Structure 1
Amino acid sequence: MTAACTTGPQKPPPPGALALRPTNPRALLSDADFNAVMHTVLDNNPGMEPGIAGRIVVDVLAFLATAAATAEPLVPSRVVDEGWHALILHTSLYQSLCARLGGFIHHVPERPDPGQRSHDDIERTVAAIEAAGHPVDRDLWRGPEDSVVPVAANCQHSGPEGPIVIIPKPKG
C-alpha cells in the first residue's frame, strides 16, 4: 500500500543543530511567520474563519514536532494536513522549521481512498502528540470521513506502515 501524505528521506541537520522540542507548538513560529501560514490556509479555504485557520496551524506544528521526535508512524487528519500543505508552500520557513526539529519531514501525497483510512490511525497520532506534551484540538482530529471543518486538502495519509519519513530517523 502506498502511503498517503508521507515524508521521505531527509538530510541530517548540520553539525551543532539543536533539535527543538517545545511544549507550546505555537512558539515554533514568529508571529509574522505564523500569520503568513495562517493566511495561506485562509486563501486556500474561502469562507474559513481566521480562528479556525490559526487552530489548524497550531496543530500542524504540534504534529510535525511530534513526528520529528518519534520513530512511530504518524498521520495527520485531513484538516491538519491542510495546515501542513500551507506550511510547505513557505519553503524557506518549512526547511528552517524542519532543521530546528532535527530533520526534514517530507510530504508524499496520496489520493484519498476511504478504504485505506482508519480512525485508529488518527487516534494513535493524537495519543502520540499528547504524550509528547502538546495540546490537541480534537475538533481538528476527527476521522477521515468527518467534514465538521471543511478544507480544500485532497490527499490523505495511510496507516501505520510509514506515511511520515523523517531524515535522519529519530532514535526511539
Structure 2
Amino acid sequence: MTCSTDVRALLSEEEHAAVTATVLDSNPNMAVDTGQRVVDEAIKFVVACATRPGVGLAPPRVVDEGWHALLLHSALYARLCARFGDFVHHYPGWDPTNYDPQILDRTRQAITECGWEPDNELWGHPTEGVLVEVAAKCQHSPDCAIRPMPKPEWP
C-alpha cells in the first residue's frame, strides 16, 4: 500500500515547521535539519501504524521524540491519523533492556510498504550508535507495542 510519495506533503509547511520547532524546543542542541528528519520519520511511523491496525509497531527513541511533538499538535495529529485509518494512541514505556529489534524491523518494513525509505540513521538500536540524544525516554517493547485504537463512542 503506497501512502504518499512525499512525506512532507502530508503536513503544510507551517505545520511541519511548528512540529519541528516543538522537537527543537525539547532538544536545544539539535540541528534544524535533524529536527526536520525526526519529524519526517515520526510522520512515516504514525501513517504506518494508522494503516495497519492490530500490528504491533514502535519507534526508536529518536523517532519517538518526533511522535511526541506531533501529539502536542493534537488537531493536525488527529487529521493525519484519520486520513489513513484509526487514531494512533501513545503508550509510553522505558526499559532499554526490554528492547525488541523485531519491532523496529516490522516498523521499518511497514514504512517501506507505505512507499517510503526509513532514515536508517534514526531507526537504530536505542542505546547504540544514536545519531543524537533526545529528551524522549520511551522505548517500546513487545509488551507495549503501538496499535491503533478505535475512536471511543461518546454518549
Fold conserved between structures, TM > 0.5: yes
Change (3 A) 1:67 1:47: same
CA distance in 2, matches of 1:64, 1:115: 24
1:141 aligns with 2:141: no
Indicate the structure whose relative CO is greater, using CA pairs within 8 Å and at least 6 residues apart: 1
Q: Is the 8 A contact 1:74 1:162 kept in 2?
A: no
- Counterpart of 1:16 in structure 2 is none
Structure 1 spans left out of the alignment, 5+ residues: 1-19
Counterpart-to-counterpart distance in 1, 2:89 and 2:119: 23
Equivalences, count: 148
Map of 2:81 onto structure 1: 98
Distance, in Å, in 2 between the alignment partners of 1:128 and 1:21 is 11
Equivalences for residues 8-27 of structure 1 within 5 A: 21-27=3-9
Residue 72 (structure 1) shift: 1.9
- 5+ unaligned residues in a row in structure 2: which ranges? none
Contact 2:86 2:150 in 1 (8 A): yes
Higher share in helix: 2
Instruction: Using the aligned pairs only, state the percent identity.
Output: 45
8 Å CA contact retained: 1:118, 1:144: no
Per-residue deviation at 1:21?
2.7
Q: Does 1:89 align with 2:75?
A: no
State whether residues 92 and 144 of structure 2, in contact with CA within 8 Å, keep that contact through their aligned partners in structure 1: no
| Aligned partner (choices 88, 92, 95) of residue 113 of structure 1 | 95
